[in-house]
Structure 1
Amino acid sequence: MFRGILLVFLGACSFGILSTFVKLAYKEGYTLGDVTGTQVFFGFLILWGVVLLRQLLGHRAESTSLTDKLKLVAMGTSTGLVSIFYYKCVQTVPASIAILLLMQFTWMSLLLEAVIKRKLPKPAQVGMVVLVLIGTAMAGRLFSGSLPNFDLVGVGYGILAAACYSVFLLVSGSAGNNLHPTTKCALILTGACTLIFTIFPPVFLVNGALGSGLLKWGLTLAVFGTVIPPLFFAYGIPRIGLGVSAILSAAELPVAVVMSSVVLQEEVWPVQWMGVALILVAIVLSNLGAVYKKLSPKQLKTA
């Protein structure tokens, strides 16, 4: 179980540092198309390279229907939209705020599930939503006496990123569960790559941008954004359960805020740290029941 905990935690931390790298790439003059395009392109090459290597080493390819494969590719379009909207948000909004906007998927997923299943959320879930919203308001400095001068269009892109991520989480378990995690991730990334290249043609392949410095950002974002997190989650979540995983995945939030403060020198007020802490408390409390169900009485005694 410890290995699963470590993998999910590291996957969340990997996600948390992305906004800082994107900000640094923008400072060097690269565009949204450059950043998103190189991330999915190199992620595509790495993941399909691992799939091919596994087959060369004698691992039998999993049998699944063409329909399931196409579903995974289609699911990948939602992750592509997450990247586009989130990185567009990062262009105009501080990285510490952009990650807060993305974290709104916690209550959006709950609302979306309630609408689809036509079932009201439990009181504890409603309480979690309230705490997340209050924490977001605090972290966004809405209680600081004067409204912060954030770009409203950028905020809108952050909300769209959270909505698309909620959709992806809702449908991610509906196809390809019999596939190896690497193969499933590669198919999903194929869909993301197709969508992003349709919106932003990969001119970086021919305009010399890769040789002028874009290569390092493309590889960095690919490894930390499209390779490590999905693979680590795919291996770790089944071993520790969704409840523990949800709590560990919240590590993405403080990591992003710390990186924005230390690396980007963005100002983070004490009230923002209080808001981040409140959001983390909400996520932990909302998943404690699932954690206790996952752990056996023996494990609880030795924990």
Structure 2
Amino acid sequence: MVISELLPNLDSGLTTLRTAGWGAMEILQSYYSGQNQTNLNANEDKQDGPVTAADLAANQYILATLQATFNPEEFGYLSEETHQGNEPLPQDWVWIIDPLDGTRDFIDKTGEYALHIALTYRQRPVLALVGMPEAQKLYYAIQGQGCFRETKAGAITPVKVKPKTELESLTLVVSRSHRDQRFQDLIDRLPFGDRHYVGSVGCKIVTILEGQSDVYISLSGKSAAKDWDFAAPELILTEAGGEFTYFDQTPVLYNRGDVRQWGGILASNGSHHGALCEQAVEILAELDQNN
């Protein structure tokens, strides 16, 4: 599949995506810094956590910007803030959007929040952006064309991961919290040399791009991460030379109806990816047998 053949307006699409990214980041920062005085505390209760005014404002801006170029009849829109039901969207092309990944970090003022936008074609990401508002950077990727870092000043540079040779030297990036006992037991038994504690998924994947970490793991428990947590981070990582798969090393699929990503997912800079997946499967089988 060659995205430029499937999406003839790729260049203008990428420009629209980057415009949406920078504009939405400005909105998020205006709330984060207090320039916009709307209450940052949760203004709406949802089963999946707090929704702030910043989420909703950024989401509205992203949808308006993308839909001006990408007709909603041809392009589906799957957003954390507007998602309803359990049926997959019918379009081959689907935008998957998380206007604010790391809402709790945003509210707690850790700075570790991100913006995710991805365009998928038949359940796989082909165009993606992860924005880092507090770092004033965005990372974007096109399937088959690489991953790039863009600064607020307009400097654009290609990004490649930096694999390591020794398994025991790998650093795991993980949240400070949100770990049930099964997940904790898993990561405790995997042979990582160090751990790096970071907020949102987008921020975690960026630490792999920048060589600060090597591996990220998601394991569902009573709940699971959603499509919008992974679609954009996956493509920026894989286009930078990394890997992002289920534990059985099959590709992650999106827009399947149930937006929850059950099971285990491992993202890495490519170092020992297969071996870590195999070890994770073996450890979980042993843990489940003993419980």
**Normalising by structure 1, what TM-score?**
0.27
Work out which of the two has the higher radius of gyration on C-alpha atoms and give 1 or 2. Answer: 1
Higher helix share: 1
Higher strand share: 2
**Normalising by structure 2, what TM-score?**
0.28
Greater RCO (Cα-Cα under 8 Å, separation 6 or more): 1
